[in-house]
Amino acid sequence: MPINVLFAATPERWATYEPALRRAFGGAGLNVYLAQEIPADDVDYIVYAPNSELQDFTPYTRTKAVLNLWAGVEAIVGNTTLTQPLARMVDPGMTRSMTEWVTGHVLRHHLGMDRHILDQSGDWTPVVPPLAEERRVCVLGLGELGTSVARTLQSLRFSVSGWSRSPKDVAGINTFHGDAGLDDALRQAEILVLLLPDTPATHNTLDARRLALMPRGAFVINPGRGPLIDDDALLAALDSGQIAHATLDVFRVEPLPADHPYWAHPRVTVTPHIAAETRAKTASEVIAENIRRGEAGEPFLYLVDRSLGY
């Protein structure tokens, strides 16, 4: 008997994911029936995107796991009908794209590239940037994405620190944890990268008090989640010069409304949520491995701790 897998995502995703999933299932030696419509009581696994039409999981009594296509689970983790195991997506392709995007913007701010790219007025004032080892970069969030970013920046010889809610040990990275550790980490963050999940505990992590702890003239890079930042506090810090520039890829409301102050602020760069995207090929391989594990009675990868929200 084949394993019945329901693909529950927006319809336009089917054309991209169907061939990638079939290749991955075949490579894992899985006999799978994959479809967009299967009777609920026949479904063994659900490949899921939180913006799909499926919001009531009650009929899926046979389903062994819901396998999220997104790294973030904040849009689904509170669904009380979801009683099946929920796995978040940890996609190697997404990790690489996030690492490349963050590294590019860290280097941009470290080297002061905007000065030369945007100013073609004829001003010949040499300003030599420090070496990477003289620049302190802090990554908030040391999950798969944050750890990859921290290690890559450390390989470029930046002085890298990282913060996580619980203790983490990452070779070559000065790590902090807990509320007091967050304050200590921010005090040395000349360039700050936010890669925390979106949970009630992380909302407004970067508020007025914490922005004031950072070295004057620091840079903020947020490819994580919009609610991590108190927008009004960040705008005030930019206006005062406490923060030199903010590069923001994620926002509380997306697309970012046309009248939002970020668009017109001279010290803000807006990018349209492009830092990282789930890649069909590598994500499908992760899903196939999790289904293989489920059928073999092995633990699923990347299970969500619903008490923490990620």
Catalytic residue list contains 260:
no
Q: Exposed e or buried b for every residue in 277-300, given b needs 16+ CB within 10 A?
A: ebbbbbbbbbbbbbbbbbeeeeeb
CA distance 250 to 238: 18
Candidates 151, 252, 273, 293; catalytic one = 273
Task: Answer yes or no: are the C-beta atoms of 64 and 45 closer than 8 Å.
Answer: yes
Alpha helices by DSSP H, the chain? 14-27, 92-111, 113-118, 144-155, 178-187, 208-213, 231-240, 261-264, 280-296
In the chain, the amino acid numbered 62 is R
In angstroms, what CA-CA distances link 189 with 63, 155, 192, 203? 45, 18, 5, 19
Give 172-214 as a DSSP string. T-EEEEHHHHHHHHHHT-SEEEE-----TTTTTSB-HHHHHHS
Task: Answer yes or no: are the C-beta atoms of 231 and 205 closer than 8 Å.
Answer: no
Based on its alpha-carbon atoms, the radius of gyration of the chain, rounded to whole angstroms, reads 21
Total Cβ atoms within 10 A of residue 206: 26
Q: Which of 152, 125, 156 is nearest to 139 (CA)?
A: 152
* Coil, helix or strand at residue 270: strand
CA distance 32 to 294: 13
Candidates 105, 110, 135, 225; catalytic one = 225
Catalytic residue list contains 109:
no
* Coil, helix or strand at residue 42: helix
Task: Supply the residues annotated as catalytic.
Answer: 225, 273
